[in-house]
Structure 1
Amino acid sequence: MIEPAVLTETLSHDLAALAPGGQVLTDDASLAEYSHDDAEWAPFEAPLAVVLATSTTEVAAIVKYARKRGIRIVPRGSGTGLSGGANGVRNCIVVSLELMREVVEINVDERYAVAQAGVINDALREAAAAVGLWYPPDPASSAISTIGGNAATNAGGICCVKYGVTRDYVLGLTVVLADGETVHLGRRTAKGVTGYDLTGLMVGSEGTLGIITEVTVKLLPLAGRVEQGIIGYFPSLPAAGAAVAAVSSEGIVPAALELIDRTCLRAVDDWLQLGLPADAHVLLLAKVDEPGAAGRELADRVAAIFTAAGGVDVEQAADSDDVARLFLARRMAYPSLERLGPVLTEDVCVPRSAVPEMLSRIQASAARHDVVIANIAHAGDGNLHPLIIAPEGDLDAKARAKAAFDEIVDDCRALGGTVTGEHGVGLLKLPGAAVELEPRVIGMHQAVKDALHPDGLFNPGKAFPQTAKA
């Protein structure tokens, strides 16, 4: 029998030879760090090793090596996921793409960019802006999440209510398949319908079908957008939800419509000292970006809806610094709450008309299970993020939090919603996915995975209820 230390040394030596430009980590601290993403409530195991790859060629070599030895592979970006999609599993290597940070090309004439998977979302946006172009998808983690991870989870974000999610911008992908072969999917033209949409299949597949190493995304012109912000404070979550539903029913599509409740506001202001009002219960943040008179008229309409729904201190801001400061509060809500204790993050999405009722049910769950639930939301598209906080080490509180989590998922589905709007199924949402997806549909998922990946070594047990192969 080979001693674990000898096995680790041999594995480390082999992987280092396969990834000469990268790094191989096998120390306990690194294995612990890379064993899970930000969804620490999901189960995880320490990997055998972590490889920080620097090229598609290295990733392909590692996959071929692992397949020959029956070692599982968990792909990882920067580990900002909130569903356990990058969590380690038994007998696995974590392959991180975080060192693959090159923006390979920005084509101004055809308006597309090619980026390695480890490029940070904001870095891609900045590179595009430098030549007058714009990459719209902007998850709240845009400053730290990678474009490859965004594609693997089909990430959403603050602007998606108007501009769509990651899938709407991915034109093509470079993907390493389970046998170690590399394929190039999609196109770089404005249109193209040759064959099945295998690019769309890979986007959102959570690393279960292949490892995305390069992404081609379409870009929009940066010019022609004039942002105006509208804010309003509401006495309750249902009142704010009513305003959200009213904006939708009026046929208005804002560039953003975000909700932050009192618990989040206090946590953010205590940490960042942004000067947010101490007595605010719920804040709605809207943004419109139509230029000229059309934009001003639309901002006035949103402000009037906020007021009619019970909003107070409704204001409009054309100053970009003021708008950015308030949206910073939204982006920093999750890390601010993490400072208070472990956070169990929900990601339900309901019809916009059901937002008021869903917010009421979330409040009822908090009271029924005696837990603190903070609320942030991409309210404009019905994507709600109740954040359930449990004190460190309090097992009873953790059990109550999990009960509230499950109840919120059930309520979401009862209102015609889906169990995950943008974070992915990962591990946390497997029970909900098992109920939401019809048995035949789950079988279709499994058939696709089996066809591309009969060994089942890529990220096993995640993204949908599946049969482990190893």
Structure 2
Amino acid sequence: MSRTLIELLGDELPAEALVTDPDVTASYAHDMASFCDAGTPAVVVLPRTVEQVQHVMRTATALRVPVVPQGARTGLSGGANATDGCVVLSLVKMDRILEINPVDRIAVVEPGVINATLSRAVNEKGLYYPPDPSSWEMCTIGGNIGTASGGLCCVKYGVTAEYVLGLDVVLADGRLLSTGRRTAKGVAGYDLTRLFVGSEGSLGVVVRATLALKPQPPQQLVLAAEFASAAAACDAVCKIMEGGHVPSLLELMDRTTVKAVNDMAHMGLPETTEALLLAAFDTPDPAQDLAAVGALCEAAGATQVVPAEDAAESELLLQARRLSLTALEAVKGTTMIDDVCVPRSRLGELLEGVERIADKYALTIGVCAHAGDGNTHPTVCFDAQDADEGRRARESFDEIMALGLELGGTITGEHGVGVLKKEWLARELGPVGVDVQRAVKATFDPLGLLNPGKLF
């Protein structure tokens, strides 16, 4: 069957688009998540055109072969993991920016465009594409759309879903569906665009996206505030938001995370602090806004408040935050990165709960967070070669998700469900919610060929 599959794919695909060497295809089998099963793909396809993607889907449907769409595989939930005998459909070669329109403030891109590449291209035209995941130098726009990813700036500017105006999607049977619009407004019919955003490749294959842009804001300045407890830092977050301030960034790093970043990058961050809060403003007078927020931090118990002097100092602080997950991985070699989002008012309770869970399981768990919107990344550090430590890591991970739901939150704010959180998605949605979502899946993919085994 595999030979027939490859022969049929080769009818309309160039030889360089088909990868069958087992050593190479194995490298496409999984994303960056731990504890997620991955199968062995029959072939990896690297299309360059919409028509080639359509041919792949028609062939897969005819032969009833599963297809796993992939971007850069920087995901953290196993959402891009292969299944046995599948076609891995890697979209990284579809990497063209097709249009940047300053009047309509839109960009039209293919799914393989790197987030940072798009950001820099629109910056050159005085525009701004806000969603900026920590992996922005590697992750693709298609992957961002698949997981509805966020980023450091989402407290002010929102997440990927708010910037996707329209999509071209190849359906499971190879038909091409266009959703959405290029206009600033549009309410014609069901909002299928939003349905595909965050669907993790389970409803169709995104081959083109129309994205909203904003005018490029002034250069932001960052403030760093040290706290003697995570609870005090979270209290400061609540005071900032309650006070009506609109920071362009409000990020938190706990003591474990700060130490890990220093150990890896020697950045000289203050390891005496229990929590480091980073606040930024990209307003016309950021220094004034930082002064007001600095006063609120001090009122909440900050032991030191240090505003950056210039853009270079600000960028250094942001780089430290972007390195957090990589640095925590270096602590023990393996991490499980949670993605629990809670109401801002419950953020302190979550962090205190994570500390209790770390003590209970005798594990190192560092927390970095998009504190401004309550999205936390408790990161369990463990030795994958130690079976008992691996077991404790998984149990602690599950307890953190349970805590998030108990506090009125969600199991994933931006990383997606994938394989890692399937059981927990069912708990969050409930039986009726799962039934409705499965019915949606069956409408778009009645044979269950697209990214099987994910979400449900």
Shorter-normalised TM range: over 0.9
Aligned-pair CA distance for 1:332? 1.2
1:361 aligns with 2:353: yes
Given the alignment, which residue of 317, 323, 346 partners 1:326?
317
Coordinate RMSD, CA, aligned? 1.5
1:174 aligns with 2:168: yes
Between the two proteins, what is the percent identity of the paired residues?
A: 44
Aligned-pair CA distance for 1:13? 4.1
Measure, in 2, the Cα distance between the counterparts of 1:192 and 1:287: 33
Given the alignment, which residue of 437, 453, 456 partners 1:461?
453
Measure, in 1, the Cα distance between the counterparts of 2:85 and 2:288: 59
Identify the range of structure 1 (27-36 vs 362-371) with the bigger mean alpha-carbon deviation: 27-36
CA deviations 1:165-217 (Å, max 9, x no partner) are: 00100011110001011111111111111111111111111100000011110
2:227–2:276 Cα contact (<8 Å) kept: yes
Aligned-pair CA distance for 1:10? 4.7
Measure, in 1, the Cα distance between the counterparts of 2:34 and 2:13: 29
- Structure 2 partner of 1:251: 244
- Structure 2 partner of 1:266: 259
1:257–1:284 Cα contact (<8 Å) kept: yes
Task: Name structure 2 gaps, 5 residues minimum.
Answer: none
1:207 aligns with 2:207: no
SS of equivalent to 1:98: coil
1:164 aligns with 2:155: no
Measure, in 2, the Cα distance between the counterparts of 1:232 and 1:323: 13
Measure, in 2, the Cα distance between the counterparts of 1:308 and 1:210: 50
1:130 aligns with 2:124: yes
1:65-464 equivalences in 2 (<5 Å): 65-222=59-216, 224-292=217-285, 295-340=286-331, 341-463=333-455
Code of the residue aligned with 1:253 in structure 2: it is V
Measure, in 2, the Cα distance between the counterparts of 1:197 and 1:318: 45
SS of equivalent to 1:18: coil
- Structure 2 partner of 1:62: 56
Aligned-pair CA distance for 1:21? 7.4
The change in CA–CA distance for 1:116 and 1:454 in structure 2 (over 3 A counts) is same
Measure, in 2, the Cα distance between the counterparts of 1:450 and 1:11: 24
Code of the residue aligned with 2:89 in structure 1: it is V
2:29–2:40 Cα contact (<8 Å) kept: yes
Code of the residue aligned with 2:435 in structure 1: it is G
Aligned-pair CA distance for 1:339? 2.5
Measure, in 1, the Cα distance between the counterparts of 2:240 and 2:137: 29
SS of equivalent to 2:198: coil
Query: What TM-score, normalized to structure 2?
Result: 0.97
SS of equivalent to 2:152: coil
Aligned-pair CA distance for 1:269? 2.2
Measure, in 1, the Cα distance between the counterparts of 2:24 and 2:328: 25
Between the two proteins, the alignment pairs up a number of residues equal to 455
Aligned-pair CA distance for 1:296? 3.3
CA deviations 1:211-234 (Å, max 9, x no partner) are: 001111011111x42412111111
Measure, in 1, the Cα distance between the counterparts of 2:40 and 2:339: 26
Code of the residue aligned with 2:287 in structure 1: it is R
Measure, in 1, the Cα distance between the counterparts of 2:450 and 2:352: 40
Aligned-pair CA distance for 1:28? 2.5
1:114–1:217 Cα contact (<8 Å) kept: yes
